[in-house]
């Protein structure tokens, strides 16, 4: 049984998936803002969601080596876990069905499903 994801969780998981090895606080926040444009998202909301998803076992985190541009502090990197990937795929399938249904019903009005 896969975990049901909220909309914001789906977005954050997608950002981690897209960033691959380079997924940490700053880059995840930037990617989430890009995905939710024009909505502004606070970085704190991203941290809270990351913590919650880590507790659910959807993602895993680890600390990198310290870097000078961060005042000698480490980055907390994130990666999707198997359950997180499954949950994201399930959400994508649901989203696809929604898009198809909307496109089917609004197709005559000139609405095009995003590719």
Alpha-carbon span 99 to 106, nearest angstrom: 10
DSSP states along 16-85? HHHHGGG-BHHHHHHHHHHHHTTS---HHHHHHHHHHHHHTTSEEEEE---BGGGTSB--EEEEE-HHHH
> Could you tell me the smallest distance in angstroms from the CB atom of residue 108 to other proteins?
44
> Could you tell me the smallest distance in angstroms from the CB atom of residue 24 to other proteins?
7
Asked if residues 32 and 47 have their Cβ atoms less than 8 Å apart, the reply is no
- The residue among 86 and 113 lying less far from other proteins, judged by its C-beta, is 86
Q: Can you name the residues that pair with 76 across neighbouring β-strands?
A: 63
- The residue among 45 and 103 lying less far from other proteins, judged by its C-beta, is 45
Alpha-carbon span 104 to 7, nearest angstrom: 23
> Could you tell me the smallest distance in angstroms from the CB atom of residue 3 to other proteins?
14
- The residue among 60 and 95 lying less far from other proteins, judged by its C-beta, is 60
- The residue among 79 and 113 lying less far from other proteins, judged by its C-beta, is 79
Return residues touching other proteins (CB under 8 A): 24-27, 29, 42-45, 47-48, 51-52, 54-55, 57, 60-63, 67-71, 73-76, 79, 81-82
> Could you tell me the smallest distance in angstroms from the CB atom of residue 71 to other proteins?
5
């Amino acid at each position: 049984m896969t975990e049901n994801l909220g909309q914001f969780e789906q977005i954050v998981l997608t950002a981690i998936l897209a960033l691959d090895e380079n997924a940490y606080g700053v880059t995840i926040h930037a990617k989430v803002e890009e995905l939710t444009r024009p909505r502004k998202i606070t970085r704190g909301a991203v941290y809270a969601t990351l913590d919650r998803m880590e507790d659910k076992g959807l993602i895993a985190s680890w600390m990198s080596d310290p870097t000078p541009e961060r005042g000698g502090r480490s980055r907390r990197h994130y990666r999707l876990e198997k359950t997180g990937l499954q949950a994201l795929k399930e959400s994508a399938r649901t989203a696809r069905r929604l898009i198809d249904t909307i496109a089917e019903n609004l197709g005559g009005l000139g609405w095009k499903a995003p590719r």
